[in-house]
Amino acid sequence: YPLFQLGGPQLRIFRPNFFMLAVRPGVPQPEDTVQFRVSMEMTKVDIKNYLEKIYDVPVAAVRTRIQYGANNKRNHKNQRVKKPDYKVAYVQLGQGQTFQFPNLFPEKEQDTETRAFDDFKDKYMEREKQRQKGDLRRGGVPDWFGL
Protein backbone atom coordinates (compact mmCIF):
# COMPACT_ATOMS: atom_id res chain seq x y z
CA TYR A 1 0.00 0.00 0.00
CA PRO A 2 1.24 3.55 -0.62
CA LEU A 3 2.96 5.30 2.23
CA PHE A 4 0.75 7.54 4.34
CA GLN A 5 2.03 10.85 5.61
CA LEU A 6 0.15 13.57 7.47
CA GLY A 7 -2.16 15.44 5.11
CA GLY A 8 -2.05 12.69 2.50
CA PRO A 9 -5.06 11.15 0.80
CA GLN A 10 -7.18 8.48 2.48
CA LEU A 11 -6.27 4.96 1.42
CA ARG A 12 -9.09 3.48 -0.65
CA ILE A 13 -9.12 -0.19 -1.55
CA PHE A 14 -11.34 -1.30 -4.38
CA ARG A 15 -12.33 -4.95 -4.31
CA PRO A 16 -10.96 -5.81 -0.87
CA ASN A 17 -9.81 -9.38 -0.52
CA PHE A 18 -10.19 -9.59 3.26
CA PHE A 19 -12.23 -12.46 4.58
CA MET A 20 -14.35 -12.38 7.70
CA LEU A 21 -16.15 -15.35 9.17
CA ALA A 22 -18.62 -15.53 12.04
CA VAL A 23 -17.81 -18.09 14.72
CA ARG A 24 -19.73 -19.56 17.60
CA PRO A 25 -18.26 -18.05 20.78
CA GLY A 26 -16.52 -20.50 23.07
CA VAL A 27 -17.31 -18.38 26.11
CA PRO A 28 -20.90 -17.07 26.36
CA GLN A 29 -20.99 -13.52 25.07
CA PRO A 30 -23.57 -10.77 25.72
CA GLU A 31 -26.59 -10.64 23.43
CA ASP A 32 -25.36 -7.87 21.17
CA THR A 33 -21.85 -9.24 20.66
CA VAL A 34 -20.93 -11.20 17.56
CA GLN A 35 -17.60 -12.99 17.34
CA PHE A 36 -15.68 -13.03 14.07
CA ARG A 37 -12.39 -14.37 12.82
CA VAL A 38 -10.93 -11.74 10.54
CA SER A 39 -7.83 -11.55 8.40
CA MET A 40 -4.75 -10.42 10.30
CA GLU A 41 -4.30 -7.11 8.48
CA MET A 42 -7.70 -5.68 9.43
CA THR A 43 -8.00 -2.99 12.08
CA LYS A 44 -11.01 -2.10 14.22
CA VAL A 45 -11.90 0.76 11.91
CA ASP A 46 -11.56 -1.55 8.90
CA ILE A 47 -13.88 -4.12 10.46
CA LYS A 48 -16.45 -1.47 11.31
CA ASN A 49 -16.44 -0.08 7.79
CA TYR A 50 -16.49 -3.55 6.25
CA LEU A 51 -19.59 -4.59 8.16
CA GLU A 52 -21.36 -1.30 7.70
CA LYS A 53 -20.69 -0.92 4.00
CA ILE A 54 -20.77 -4.50 2.70
CA TYR A 55 -23.23 -6.12 5.09
CA ASP A 56 -25.25 -3.05 6.16
CA VAL A 57 -24.93 -3.96 9.84
CA PRO A 58 -24.82 -1.10 12.37
CA VAL A 59 -21.72 -1.44 14.52
CA ALA A 60 -21.32 0.23 17.88
CA ALA A 61 -17.93 -1.04 18.99
CA VAL A 62 -15.21 -3.45 17.90
CA ARG A 63 -12.52 -5.09 20.01
CA THR A 64 -9.83 -7.28 18.49
CA ARG A 65 -7.19 -9.66 19.67
CA ILE A 66 -4.73 -11.97 17.96
CA GLN A 67 -4.95 -15.63 18.85
CA TYR A 68 -1.59 -17.38 18.74
CA GLY A 69 -1.73 -20.81 17.10
CA ALA A 70 0.31 -23.42 18.95
CA ASN A 71 3.53 -24.81 17.52
CA ASN A 72 4.04 -27.86 19.70
CA LYS A 73 2.37 -30.60 17.65
CA ARG A 74 4.76 -32.83 15.74
CA ASN A 75 4.31 -34.68 12.46
CA HIS A 76 5.65 -38.12 11.48
CA LYS A 77 9.08 -36.56 10.79
CA ASN A 78 9.14 -35.02 14.28
CA GLN A 79 8.96 -31.54 12.74
CA ARG A 80 6.93 -29.01 14.59
CA VAL A 81 3.58 -28.25 12.93
CA LYS A 82 2.24 -24.79 13.48
CA LYS A 83 -1.45 -24.06 13.80
CA PRO A 84 -2.07 -20.74 12.03
CA ASP A 85 -2.54 -17.53 14.00
CA TYR A 86 -5.77 -15.64 13.55
CA LYS A 87 -7.36 -12.40 14.66
CA VAL A 88 -10.62 -12.49 16.62
CA ALA A 89 -12.98 -9.53 16.59
CA TYR A 90 -15.79 -8.98 19.06
CA VAL A 91 -18.32 -6.71 17.40
CA GLN A 92 -21.09 -5.04 19.37
CA LEU A 93 -24.09 -4.25 17.23
CA GLY A 94 -25.72 -0.86 17.29
CA GLN A 95 -29.40 0.09 17.43
CA GLY A 96 -30.06 -2.48 20.12
CA GLN A 97 -29.83 -5.44 17.76
CA THR A 98 -29.11 -8.88 19.14
CA PHE A 99 -27.64 -11.98 17.58
CA GLN A 100 -27.63 -15.67 18.44
CA PHE A 101 -25.36 -17.98 16.52
CA PRO A 102 -27.72 -20.36 14.71
CA ASN A 103 -27.56 -24.13 14.59
CA LEU A 104 -26.32 -24.90 11.11
CA PHE A 105 -26.68 -28.68 11.40
CA PRO A 106 -30.22 -29.36 12.49
CA GLU A 107 -31.48 -32.94 12.50
CA LYS A 108 -33.19 -33.56 9.22
CA GLU A 109 -35.55 -36.47 8.63
CA GLN A 110 -33.80 -39.13 6.62
CA ASP A 111 -35.31 -40.39 3.41
CA THR A 112 -36.02 -44.10 2.86
CA GLU A 113 -32.70 -44.63 1.12
CA THR A 114 -30.54 -43.42 4.00
CA ARG A 115 -32.70 -45.26 6.52
CA ALA A 116 -32.37 -48.51 4.58
CA PHE A 117 -28.63 -48.00 4.31
CA ASP A 118 -28.31 -47.34 8.04
CA ASP A 119 -30.29 -50.53 8.81
CA PHE A 120 -28.05 -52.51 6.49
CA LYS A 121 -24.97 -51.06 8.17
CA ASP A 122 -26.22 -51.96 11.65
CA LYS A 123 -27.04 -55.54 10.63
CA TYR A 124 -23.60 -55.96 9.06
CA MET A 125 -21.83 -54.69 12.19
CA GLU A 126 -23.89 -57.10 14.32
CA ARG A 127 -22.92 -60.04 12.14
CA GLU A 128 -19.22 -59.07 12.33
CA LYS A 129 -19.38 -58.88 16.12
CA GLN A 130 -21.08 -62.28 16.26
CA ARG A 131 -18.35 -63.79 14.11
CA GLN A 132 -15.68 -62.31 16.39
CA LYS A 133 -17.31 -63.76 19.49
CA GLY A 134 -17.61 -67.28 18.19
CA ASP A 135 -20.41 -69.81 17.93
CA LEU A 136 -22.61 -70.12 21.04
CA ARG A 137 -23.41 -73.77 20.25
CA ARG A 138 -19.76 -74.64 20.79
CA GLY A 139 -19.48 -72.69 24.03
CA GLY A 140 -18.17 -69.33 22.68
CA VAL A 141 -14.97 -70.90 21.28
CA PRO A 142 -13.70 -68.98 18.24
CA ASP A 143 -13.80 -70.53 14.77
CA TRP A 144 -10.02 -70.86 14.68
CA PHE A 145 -10.23 -74.12 16.53
CA GLY A 146 -11.66 -77.33 15.15
CA LEU A 147 -12.85 -78.20 11.70
Partner 1 sequence: MAAIAGTGTGAEPATPLARRWVKLSGHHLGKGQILHSPSGAWHCGRGGGVMAAAVGMAALCRRLTAALRLSGARPGPTAAGLPGLTLNPLHKNLVKVEPVHQLKFLHTSLSRRGLEEFFDDPKNWGEKTVKSGDAWNIKQLRAKSSEDLHKLWYVLLKEKNMLLTLEQESKRQLKPMPSPERLEKVEKSMKNIDLVVKEREIALRLLQTGHEKPVPGEWRHDFLGRTYWYTYKEWPIPWYLNKKHKKRRFYYLRHVNHFIRLRLEKFLRRKARKQNLERTRRKVLERKFPHLAAKSQSQQ
Residues that bind partner 1 (CB under 8 A): 2-3, 5, 9-24, 34, 37, 45-46, 49-57, 97, 99, 102-108
Pick 2 or 140: Cβ nearer partner 1 = 2
What are the b/e assignments for 27-66, b being 16+ CB within 10 Å? eeeeebbbbbebeeebeeebbbebbeeeeebebeebebee
Residue 138 CB, shortest distance to partner 1, in Å, is 42
Are the beta carbons of 19 and 39 closer than 8 angstroms?
A: yes
CA distance 92 to 40: 19
Residue 106 CB, shortest distance to partner 1, in Å, is 5
Pick 79 or 111: Cβ nearer partner 1 = 111
Pick 10 or 72: Cβ nearer partner 1 = 10
CA distance 89 to 29: 12
Pick 102 or 146: Cβ nearer partner 1 = 102
Residue 54 CB, shortest distance to partner 1, in Å, is 5
Residue 10 CB, shortest distance to partner 1, in Å, is 6
CB atoms within 10 A of CB 89: 23
